[in-house]
Amino acid sequence: MTRPLKLAQIGFGGIGLTVAELLGEDEDFEYVAAAARPHRADAIRERLGAVPLVDTPDAVIAAEPDILIECASHQALLDYGAPILEAGIDLVAVSVGALADQNERLLLIAAAEKGDASLEVPAGAIGGLDVVSAARHTGIERLAYVTRKAPRLWKGTPAEDMIDLDAVTDPLMFFDETAAEGARIFEEKLNVAATLAMAGVGFEQTRVELWADPAYPRSTHIIELEAASGTMKIELANTVTPVNDKSSWLTAASIAQAVKRRRALLKF
């Protein structure tokens, strides 16, 4: 019988706790370390039992996981990414807006090469990455990420400094820039744009449009592609996790699927 894959995880907010629920009871996987803020300890143990709680990359490495799951923050990815990959531990990461910085991106790629490990980026809150990455081989002419959501859902983001959210009564596009600029300004809010950019034509060639739109009560992601191999337009309106009303349930499921695929005999 094949032994369970050993997992470590950074980040146990709404997404991270949902990932732990999806993977924690699967016999194909065993959690050997959890890195999170101290106030998350009870919630982690409720889902994963007596898993060791750690707070440094060295402590994660000492636990000897096969895979580290990152669903914490840009800074966590930058702090843990290189040492984990250099140690030969595969990394599944979602805070990839941090990789809009080319130097940081090249650093992680070099660390993965040195450690003979891999950095995998799940689709997260969007879909169609298989089409985008395949179309890259035929030539992509245009790639855009558009998000529409109600003005109230933009509160607590840099959008508050760009427009008067309380005054929006009609659809309003308040940001039209490259994925590089979007990731720099909106950070974690645009991890999906960074994912799309890396799967396709890069940060400078991928466009980002952000809309405050009262007609969209949920966060809605739209991917638009024009390529030599064809065109695509998909729209996803995501629901939030039961744990946190600001975290995408699909993102958590996407992370879990990326990990579960490691053990699947029939892969999708």
Beta-bridge partner residues of 70: 10, 93
**N-term to C-term CA, the chain:** 23
Cα–Cα dist 156/232, whole Å: 32
* Rounded alpha-carbon distances, angstroms, from residue 229 to 139, 253, 268: 8, 29, 21
Question: Which residues does 229 contact at the CB level (< 8 Å), separation at least 6?
Answer: 134, 135, 138, 139
CB 241 within 8 A of CB 252: yes
- Structure token digits, residue 244: 């946190």
Q: How far is CA 110 from the centre of its chain?
A: 21
Q: Which residues are marked as active site?
A: 221
**Pairing state between β 206-212 and 140-149:** parallel
Cα–Cα dist 176/208, whole Å: 6
* Rounded alpha-carbon distances, angstroms, from residue 86 to 76, 92, 110, 232: 16, 14, 8, 37
Beta-bridge partner residues of 221: 147, 236
Q: Which of 153, 142, 158, 85 is nearest to 119 (CA)?
A: 85
Cα–Cα dist 54/43, whole Å: 15
